[in-house]
């Protein structure tokens, strides 16, 4: 008899944070405390919707390629969240602006 696969979905929290004047995009998988951090470079439009979408997508792909099923992403209400949420809706991931 083969073992049954168990599907576990996770919630991810993301935030833009300044640490000693340096901007980072940080994601954390709830319950596991698994954290991923990417430094954002100011002169490359660090806070633009395109940049945030690109980096957040990269982090989510990194999680899902390691078999973490992401269902919802929470933020603290960053204004950029509304601009990028349609992209995640297409991937069946809900982006909740908090």
List the domains of the chain with CATH numbers. Answer: 9-96 (3.30.420.10)
Each residue of 82-94: pLDDT tens digit? 888 888 888 888 8
Cα dihedral sign, 93-65-6-2: positive
Helix, strand, coil abundance in the chain, percent, nearest 5: 30, 35, 35
Residue corresponding to tokens 């973490």:
68
The structure tokens listed for 3 are 């073992």
User: Is the entire prediction scored with pTM above 0.75?
Assistant: yes
Residue 3 predicted with pLDDT over 80: no
The structure tokens listed for 35 are 């954290």
- In the chain, pLDDT over 70 holds for what percent of residues? 87
Query: Which residue would you say has higher pLDDT here, 43 or 78?
Result: 78
Residue 62 predicted with pLDDT over 90: yes
Cα dihedral sign, 46-57-50-27: negative
């Amino acid at each position: 008899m083969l073992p049954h696969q168990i599907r576990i979905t996770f919630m991810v929290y993301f935030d833009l944070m300044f640490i000693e004047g340096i901007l980072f995009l940080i994601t954390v998988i709830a319950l596991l405390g698994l954290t991923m951090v990417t430094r954002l470079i100011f002169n490359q439009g660090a806070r633009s919707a395109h940049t945030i979408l690109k980096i957040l997508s990269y982090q989510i792909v990194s999680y899902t390629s390691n078999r973490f099923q992401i269902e919802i992403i929470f933020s603290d209400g960053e204004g950029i969240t509304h601009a990028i949420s349609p992209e995640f809706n297409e991937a069946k991931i809900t982006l909740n602006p908090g």
